[in-house]
Amino acid sequence: MAAQDIAQFMADQFNDRDYVYQSQIVNAIIEKFGDEYIYRNKNGNRAISPEVLKLFRQLTRDVVWERGSQRWRKMRPDNRPGRRGIYSPR
């Protein structure tokens, strides 16, 4: 599978949801595509390759990353324009 296919799969996950946790997406990617685009980050957690994330960001202009909760969610009206990542306190 190509990175583009995985990025599109991730984008499609938002059709019926307001948010998706990274762990859910990672598990779904492994189940559907294998683990070629998954790696262990410095904290030992499974993460999605930067290549896939770059393509995902290009496909989803209305999705932001919440680092504190480790999830992507749909942008809300109170988010500043152009703000792609929301870094909530831990």
pLDDT for the residue 55 = 94
Total-model pTM: 0.81
pLDDT per residue, tens digit, the chain (90 aa), is 699 999 999 999 887 788 999 999 999 999 999 999 999 999 898 999 999 999 998 998 888 888 889 999 988 887 765 555 544 433
Q: What is the DSSP letter of 79?
A: S
Exposure string over 14-27, b if 16+ CB within 10 A, otherwise e = beeeeebebeebbe
